[in-house]
Amino acid sequence: MTKITTSTFLNHKMNHEKITVLTAYDYSMASLLDEAGIECLLVGDSLGMTMLGYEDTLAVTMEDMIHHTKAVKRGAKFAMVVADMPFMSYHVSDEEAVRNAARFIKEAGAHAIKLEGGFNVKTRIEAIIAAQIPVMGHLGLTPQSVNAFGGFKVQGKSKVQAKKLIEEAKLLESLGCFAIVLECIPAKLAQLISSQLSIPTIGIGAGSGCDGQVLVIQDLLGMYSDLSPKFVKPYANLKPIIIDAAKAYASEVKSGDFPEEKHTFKIDESVLDKLY
| Interface contacts to ligand KIV, rule CB under 6 A | 23, 42, 44-46, 84, 181, 183, 204, 214, 216
Q: Which is nearer to ligand KIV, 49 or 175 (CB)?
A: 49
Find the catalytic residue in 95, 183, 252, 261: 183
Q: Which residue is nearest to ligand KIV (CB)?
A: 44
Work out how close the CB of 117 gets to ligand KIV at its nearest, in angstroms, rounded to a whole number. 12
Q: Using CA atoms, how far apart are residues 66 and 75, in angstroms rounded to an integer? A: 15
- Residue 48 is which amino acid? G
Q: Which is nearer to ligand KIV, 6 or 50 (CB)?
A: 50
Work out how close the CB of 188 gets to ligand KIV at its nearest, in angstroms, rounded to a whole number. 20
Work out how close the CB of 202 gets to ligand KIV at its nearest, in angstroms, rounded to a whole number. 7
∠88-94-98 over CA atoms, to 5°? 85
Q: Any catalytic annotation for residue 183?
A: yes
Q: Which is nearer to ligand KIV, 51 or 102 (CB)?
A: 51
Work out how close the CB of 193 gets to ligand KIV at its nearest, in angstroms, rounded to a whole number. 16
Q: Which is nearer to ligand KIV, 64 or 183 (CB)?
A: 183
Work out how close the CB of 198 gets to ligand KIV at its nearest, in angstroms, rounded to a whole number. 21
Q: Which is nearer to ligand KIV, 46 or 89 (CB)?
A: 46
DSSP string, the chain: -PPP-HHHHHHHHHTTPPEEEEE--SHHHHHHHHHTT-SEEEE-TTHHHHTT--SSSTT--HHHHHHHHHHHHHH-SSSEEEEEPPTTSSSS-HHHHHHHHHHHHHTT--SEEE--BSGGGHHHHHHHHHTT--EEEEEES-GGGHHHHTSS-----SHHHHHHHHHHHHHHHHHT-SEEEEES--HHHHHHHHHH-SSPEEEESS-TTSSEEEE-HHHHTT---S---TT---S--HHHHHHHHHHHHHHHHHHT-SS-GGGS----HHHHHTT-
Give the residue numbers marked as catalytic.
183
